[in-house]
Amino acid sequence: MKKNTVTILGLLFTVGGLFAQTYSTGTIPLFGGGPTLAYSGKIDITASTVTLTLIGPSTSWMGMGFNTTSMDTSSDVVIYNGSVLSDRHFDGFGNTPVVDAEQNWNLVSDNVVSGVRTAVISRNRVAAEGGDFTFSFPPSPFNIVFARSVGSPSIVYHGNGNCGTTVVNFTLGTDGFDLAGFKMYPNPTRNFVNIELPPLVSEANIVIYDVLGKKIKETKVANQNYNVDLSGFESGFYMMNIKTADGEVTKTLVIN
């Protein structure tokens, strides 16, 4: 009986650990061009939920399609323009994607800073209707397509040069890593930014990338409050990756 109890407890801990795991692509630069053009995304997957972070111009719509390399008819896509979040499917090249009968994505948060929108949306990992993509768990690499409009939130054909495709890969995050405990201020900023680490964390490695993924600066943090010098940085939109022994987080940095 004791052996069976131990076995069951072990199974429960194993299953519980699996459900607590989060796999992430990290922030993926999709387009460059500064705050009015740059677009990046991030996909996080747990056993039950998919969370998508879209970062781009506040005056444009942003879209992402899953498990496809083109506007293949019926492939799954989601679009957000700052006021309407729509679950859609492609209707062929050059055609505006068709709105699905069921809307399964939910808006978690939407923040605009200096013309840059950061929208977080989520839905169930397993498709609720036939046309939606079911994300595997643990996730395997798959293709995405992405697009954004230029200067208009109207959801119409994006035109040449405003779309692309790539393969996304996932890494396993660290359970219990306190992302909310990180503070970065002021943001937007000009010559410096303060980094405040979570309690009990006193060391971190900071890498700043531009929107094309080029490393611009790397520095080490040796205390809970640290001032990062940004003098010489051009105005624009950057990704700041903060890594500790317990995990990492990527935040959007806007320099005026």
Residue 93's CB is within 10 A of a number of other CB atoms, namely 10
Distance of CA 103 to the CA centre of its chain: 20
Q: From CA 121, how far away is CA 21, in angstroms rounded?
A: 19
User: Is 215:209 a contact under the CB 8 Å cutoff?
Assistant: yes
**CATH of segment(s) 183-255:** 2.60.40.1930
Task: Considering the domain delimited by 22-173, tell me its CATH architecture.
Answer: Sandwich (2.60)
User: Is 62:148 a contact under the CB 8 Å cutoff?
Assistant: yes
Domains 22-173 and 183-255 share a fold: yes
Q: Residue 105: which region, alpha, beta or left (left: phi > 0; alpha: psi -120 to 50)?
A: beta
Q: What is the pLDDT of residues 138-177, one digit of tens each?
A: 999 999 999 999 888 998 888 788 899 999 999 876 544 5
Q: From CA 95, how far away is CA 246, in angstroms rounded?
A: 45
Phi–psi pair at 207, nearest 5 degrees: -125, 130
Extents of the domains making up the chain: 22-173, 183-255
Q: What is the pLDDT of residues 16-44, one digit of tens each?
A: 444 447 888 988 999 988 777 899 999 99
Q: From CA 48, how far away is CA 135, in angstroms rounded?
A: 10
Q: What residues contact residue 113 under an 8 Å CB cut-off, 6+ apart?
A: 187, 188, 252, 254
Q: From CA 95, how far away is CA 155, in angstroms rounded?
A: 11
Q: What is the pLDDT of residues 238-256, one digit of tens each?
A: 888 888 876 777 788 889 8
Q: Which of 222, 223, 250, 221 is nearest to 238 (CA)?
A: 250
Q: What residues contact residue 82 under an 8 Å CB cut-off, 6+ apart?
A: 58, 61, 110, 112, 117, 119, 153
The pLDDT confidence band at residue 179, using thresholds 50, 70 and 90, is: low
